[in-house]
Amino acid sequence: MQDLTQQFLELVRLAATSLPPDVEKALGEAVEREEEGSAAKGALDTILTNVEMARENATPICQDTGTPIFYVHYPEGWSTRKLKQQIRDAVVEATKKSYLRPNAVDSITGTNTGDNLGDEHYPTIHFEEVDGDTLTVELMLKGGGCENVGAQYKLPDAKLGAGRDLEGVRRAALDAVYQAQGKGCAPGILGIAVGGDRGSSFLASKEALLRTIDDNNPNPQLDELEKTITKEANQLGIGPMGFGGQTTVIDTKIKAAHRLPASYFVSVSYMCWAYRRRKMTINGDEVIYA
Ligand code: SF4
């Protein structure tokens, strides 16, 4: 099996220092919507200048490294133990090169490990065997501030008037945005899971964030709900960094997961404007980064 440490390192560099084109485009369109001279426009202009500088200088887009979450889709016969080690080696190297600030802290002692490695869940690596010969690895760096404003709802919720249906999902999602009130570095992107148990629901909400901004949900009902939530969240007037304005949420992505009849969870993973996710595909000697 190939040693892919250098390829993983490049994936980390790209994710940490170069915002994906679809996200940058959406932020550029958001600037156009904001009033000339407004705090919202100023915040978005600063964000975009920062994005450009980070790419030019190969420096982190944000000082918050974010939790590195890898999704590895590997062909039959590959060793997940070796892939995990190579990913961990790449994370250490990326920290030495300052693509990632050391940000992994022992929860009990508060000690920073200094190399972004922690227990077996840090960095988080999800493995899934797939058909064919192509290895696909997606990486998301999930900021702490935005993770703090994520929320999970157990429907029905009498306070929100939210029942166990898509109208209830809409109410829960808008409540999460309202409660965030600009914390978590708006404008944000909502990854929402409907269903699952408490754990799998949050996992699915993060998987929803792997979709690109410009795609449509293949389920027409969810597609319509995604667009409605984005539109209505932007009518709340919270705006970039909570300064007021037209753009509180850039996009909404929803994923449905099967559930027990007894439970109806809605999990909202809030992603900040620093929507750092990148993808690498490897087939033989060909390596493609996106
Ligand atoms: S929430 Fe996002 S933009 Fe804000 S500090 Fe954390 S990573 Fe950076």
pLDDT digits (tens, 9 = 90+) for 248-283: 999 999 999 999 999 999 999 999 999 999 999 999
What tokens were used for 94?
A: 């990326």
Stretch(es) of the chain classified as CATH 3.30.360:
5-15+61-143+276-289
Of 62, 100, 147, 250, the one to substitute when testing ligand 1's pocket (max ligand atoms within 8 A of C-beta) is 62
Mean pLDDT of 42-66: 96
Across the chain, mean pLDDT equals 97
Q: Where are the alpha helices (DSSP H) in 67-183?
A: 80-96, 144-148, 166-180
* 194 strand-pairing partners: 256, 266
What tokens were used for 70?
A: 């890898």
pLDDT of residue 241: 95
**Distance in Å, CA 14 to ligand 1 centroid:** 17
pLDDT of residue 259: 98
Given a cut of 80, whether residue 171 has pLDDT beyond it is yes
Task: Quick: pLDDT tens for 138-159.
Answer: 999 999 999 999 999 999 999 9
Which residue has a Cα nearest atom 4 of ligand 1? 185
Given a cut of 90, whether residue 214 has pLDDT beyond it is no
Closest CA to 62 of 124, 17, 114, 26: 17
Angle at 204 between CA 200 and CA 208, to 5 degrees: 175
- Dihedral Cα 195, 279, 122, 8, nearest 10 deg: 160
pLDDT of residue 1: 81
pLDDT of residue 277: 97
Which residue has a Cα nearest atom 1 of ligand 1? 145
- Evaluate whether 273 touches 250 at the Cβ level (below 8 Å): yes
- Evaluate whether 253 touches 217 at the Cβ level (below 8 Å): yes
- Which residues are CB-contacts of 195 (< 8 A; sequence separation ≥ 6)? 201, 204, 256, 257, 258, 259, 264, 265
- Residue 28: CB within 6 Å of ligand 1? no
Task: Provide DSSP, 227-251.
Answer: HHHHHHHTTS---GGGS-SS-SEEE
Q: Give the nearest ligand 1 atom to 273 CA.
A: 3
pLDDT of residue 39: 96
Given a cut of 80, whether residue 182 has pLDDT beyond it is no
Tell me the CATH class for 5-15+61-143+276-289.
alpha beta
